[in-house]
Amino acid sequence: MYSWMLLEDRLDRELTRETGISHAYYEILVQLSETEGRQLRMSELADRCLSSRSRLSHAVSRLEERGWVRRQVCAEDGRGQLAVLTDEGFAALEQAAPVHVESVRSHLFDQLDAAQLTAMRDIGETLLRHLNEA
């Protein structure tokens, strides 16, 4: 487990140093970019990012200050709030993505042989099935 924590720390530090975007903020931008209309209810975004609602709200506020995300009232019920990825936020994500991909490749995939990659995939799938059932 310690190796995963070290990997996560390294990925976060490199992404932040190279792009000015923390891994947590990057994940928010990714989640929004992968949805239709580039928007999600704040509660769903928090769930997808495995974040508390208060922590996500704070992060979205910081991303709003950068002009990368904006909030709007949910038209479906008028009560919920949506986080919407702006064009500027999408552009920031496009610039950061190659940095993140290269970092993951060099610190994870390049360090493992084919058998280890297969084992990692199999272990990941097993854990995912178990955790999705729980």
Query: Domain 2-133 is of which CATH architecture?
Result: Orthogonal Bundle (1.10)
Contact 74, 68 (CB under 8 A): no
Output the pLDDT for position 11.
96
pLDDT in tens, 36-71: 999 999 999 999 999 999 999 999 999 999 999 999
d(CA 43, CA 63): 16
Average pLDDT, whole number, for the chain? 95
Report the b/e string of 79-113 with b at 16+ CB within 10 A: eeebbbbbeebeebbeebbebbeebbeeeeeeeee
Q: Is the predicted pLDDT of residue 74 greater than 90, yes or no?
A: no
d(CA 99, CA 108): 14
Output the pLDDT for position 79.
79
DSSP string across 42-95 = HHHHHHHTT--HHHHHHHHHHHHHTTSEEEEE-TTTSSSEEEEE-HHHHHHHHH
- What are the residue ranges spanned by the domains of the chain? 2-133
User: What pTM does this model have?
Assistant: 0.89
